[in-house]
Structure 1
């Protein structure tokens, strides 16, 4: 299968002055050699987006919807190709690539419909002398930085609302997984999307990425990445006033009380933790378990960890693929070894799967007796490691759950006591509280609190990150004067 290698800038597919080998972390072989952007490419993309803004913003909702649906149809027609790009560039199990692809289809569909629901707001004038309406307009050029863990899903969360709102968007995929994003560029070129509306360019140069952010042309800067990266982008972007929408890091707690459905809790914890090799921003990280059910819960988690199928085979039911690269593997192994040296007990995994010599695979790992001082507790692991923290009394539980330097994205609560669940939800400082289950979809708001981000992905809230409000006031009597003091 031939994989795309070119950037998409100013309506055309383009080679760069430099290139990068993309390595499949499962096989450690080169998938493709792709173009990466230099300073001139970044300037061309910025200028093209700026030049496209007036025309794209002025298009009717119906016209923008038409382009989005053309792109959606191509995404549907090229499902196997797009999913193969993800499968090979990050070693993601084949079945799990469907979510990436599906979210791109869903985003183009949802936001094409959602933009038609954005209406003017009529304000009542207290004196009755003027009419007032608030209208919504495109904010301007958008700049999106994407993480590598869900190459198409992350792109979907940005391209849908930006196109619908009328904002030209420059997408910088991760330099680790640019292939599937470049494939979307091929589809944009194929449908003849107006020049400058979407641009896709990867770069491994910090200087080029910083130049994009520091430019005064983008009005919206959006990111899926770490809290540290978000802080850097905001500092670099301070050359002008910009709007930010960022989904950043998290250190998700799980609260498993003694009355919880332990099979359900174990299934969700391991399902989210071992899928995508645990490289999920909402993945359960610190699992607080009531001492009374601790041994039973641990057994259920260990059984699932040992039953997980690890590997890279499109025709097999693989649970856990590789982590993204050797550096990630070494970091995760270091967290495990540090925890064990500090007194944690290793119940499963902890190293390469037996017999797996090639690829950056880490066996699904279960640690217990984890404490607050351990690095695996303090850091977002972003790997297939379940850390269990037993608790005997609830007094300090919420303090520990909220003790998260990287801010609050998602928290999980398992209990049959609805009043207890709601009390926990009220006090947990996280943007999403999942009670006795887990659900994400394009129409549900996704965002964090504090250091976990600003703004939202998904839902109508994301669309409004790309829209600005304008008040239009008209005097009903030409002799009326409402005053200038706000």
Structure 2
């Protein structure tokens, strides 16, 4: 598949930028897919004006029509799923089956919020005086600045677009510069489905320039960001200075507790199927493992066996079980984390090194006897590294799991219902999976606290940040 030349998207059409040149790389080879010009101050200003105009039209659009546009977009994405998935494979590197699943999840998200567009209910409040009326209505918050990352270029963007558009907001989005074509394909489907020009605009370029200008702009009324905790703090400070609402879906470092009653080999199979998906580049992926000492050796041996058996290669190859990391930054970070853990007396029992080939490949890695002080246990690895440590009782397991600034997701593997309830109540996490690693779906709320951010995406809760409550008292 030929990679399309990326562009900006302003006022319902693709347009060329006049800002800095952006190179889009193929993670499978490290070579260039395309170069294009990002946004300058002029294009940012054009996007602001287009969004203000588009918002006036879209907010006045009846909810059933907004629903229709979102449903048509979902249908179009499903019809176009293979070409769209191929774009993700080219830009992001993940295997084709994972890219197809991502397109399906994005389409499901549009469908879910299409239905939610009809459910922005107000209420009537019993009046205190005869002949008067008191009522509330739900109104769109305004124009939204949305920032989404490269690890899931379709679903992370759609989890912002779908609720915002369902609520009647307009959006200026800055998706990741590494994955522009996926975002542009989504914008094109929305436009063809009937979204008014200006209701969605896409900017690429200098992230610091675009974010600072948009957040300070009087046009923008809300900010939503998915990405690192460090960048989230900066954007939250800017939004706070302007007294603008913000949703921050930030980093995670999800603990997984493998209990004494669990089958160690079956638990390792479950972990291996989830941990190395998308090469471990997910905020809610299981990323540190605490195993009861009675099953520790069996779990470790099986997980290492499964890691060594994973076929690492280009996402376009049918045999590939794990693709490359998405960029050279992640490749370098993996080597640093493994070296630090080894220096802290952890054992490398599988992988532990980059692969000697073009592209950004790192071997699926399992580390044993990893101390709590090792960097890989303290910071989000965001890659295919599974650090494992033993525990002796549930109190110790909870203490180890909760010894983190992050509180996004957590997981438990157990066959004992009371143990499951105890750990689910005791883990400090916004989303908890028991014998499953699926915690982010269109219909459920997903969000954390602490260094993992503020607010939720998904479910009816995901619509709330894009709505204001208006009270009217008629006498």
8 Å CA contact retained: 1:203, 1:209: no
Alpha-carbon displacement from aligned partner over 1:332-369 (angstroms, at most 9, x marks no partner): 1110011011100111000134xx41111111000010
Give the Cα–Cα distance (whole angstroms) in 1 for the partners of residues 428 and 442 of structure 2: 23
Residue 93 of structure 1: which of 92, 95, 103 is its match? 95
Give the Cα–Cα distance (whole angstroms) in 1 for the partners of residues 463 and 148 of structure 2: 17
Superposed displacement of residue 130, structure 1? 4.6
CA gap 1:50/1:362 in 2 versus in 1, 3 angstroms: same
Q: Secondary structure at the match of 2:146?
A: strand
Task: Give me the TM-score of the superposition, normalised by structure 1.
Answer: 0.93
Residue 354 of structure 2: which of 348, 352, 361 is its match? 352
Q: Secondary structure at the match of 2:410?
A: strand
Alpha-carbon displacement from aligned partner over 1:230-269 (angstroms, at most 9, x marks no partner): 1100112234221111211011111111101334422232
Other-structure match for 1:103: 105
Residue 213 of structure 1: which of 215, 240, 248 is its match? 215
Give the Cα–Cα distance (whole angstroms) in 2 for the partners of residues 56 and 129 of structure 1: 34
1:16 aligns with 2:17: yes
Give the Cα–Cα distance (whole angstroms) in 1 for the partners of residues 228 and 331 of structure 2: 18
Other-structure match for 1:26: 28
List gaps (5 residues or longer) in structure 1. Answer: 476-486
Give the Cα–Cα distance (whole angstroms) in 1 for the partners of residues 56 and 388 of structure 2: 54
1:420 aligns with 2:407: no
Other-structure match for 1:248: 250
Other-structure match for 2:309: 307
CA RMSD of superposed structures (Å):
1.7
Give the Cα–Cα distance (whole angstroms) in 2 for the partners of residues 295 and 66 of structure 1: 54
Give the Cα–Cα distance (whole angstroms) in 1 for the partners of residues 425 and 41 of structure 2: 47
Give the Cα–Cα distance (whole angstroms) in 2 for the partners of residues 472 and 114 of structure 1: 23
Give the Cα–Cα distance (whole angstroms) in 2 for the partners of residues 127 and 227 of structure 1: 51
For 1:227-246, list aligned pairs within 5 A: 227-246=229-248
8 Å CA contact retained: 1:215, 1:239: no
Q: How many aligned positions are there?
A: 472
Q: Secondary structure at the match of 1:237?
A: helix
Other-structure match for 1:323: 325
Give the Cα–Cα distance (whole angstroms) in 2 for the partners of residues 268 and 241 of structure 1: 44
Give the Cα–Cα distance (whole angstroms) in 2 for the partners of residues 191 and 125 of structure 1: 42
Give the Cα–Cα distance (whole angstroms) in 1 for the partners of residues 330 and 124 of structure 2: 53
1:437 aligns with 2:439: no
Superposed displacement of residue 198, structure 1? 0.6
8 Å CA contact retained: 2:22, 2:205: no
Other-structure match for 2:67: 65
Give the Cα–Cα distance (whole angstroms) in 2 for the partners of residues 35 and 68 of structure 1: 30
1:113 aligns with 2:115: yes
Q: Secondary structure at the match of 2:276?
A: helix
Alpha-carbon displacement from aligned partner over 1:291-333 (angstroms, at most 9, x marks no partner): 1110011111111101111101524232211112222111111
List gaps (5 residues or longer) in structure 2. Answer: none
CA gap 1:259/1:167 in 2 versus in 1, 3 angstroms: same
Deviates more, 1:418-427 or 1:374-383: 418-427
Deviates more, 1:235-244 or 1:94-103: 235-244
Q: Secondary structure at the match of 1:143?
A: strand
Other-structure match for 1:482: none
Give the Cα–Cα distance (whole angstroms) in 2 for the partners of residues 198 and 140 of structure 1: 12
Give the Cα–Cα distance (whole angstroms) in 1 for the partners of residues 323 and 397 of structure 2: 33
For 1:114-153, list aligned pairs within 5 A: 114-125=116-127, 130-153=132-155
Q: Secondary structure at the match of 1:234?
A: helix
Give the Cα–Cα distance (whole angstroms) in 2 for the partners of residues 110 and 347 of structure 1: 43
Superposed displacement of residue 394, structure 1? 3.1
Superposed displacement of residue 400, structure 1? 1.8
Q: Secondary structure at the match of 1:100?
A: helix
Q: Secondary structure at the match of 1:285?
A: strand
Other-structure match for 1:447: 447
Other-structure match for 2:384: 384
Residue 270 of structure 1: which of 268, 272, 276 is its match? 272
Q: Secondary structure at the match of 2:286?
A: coil
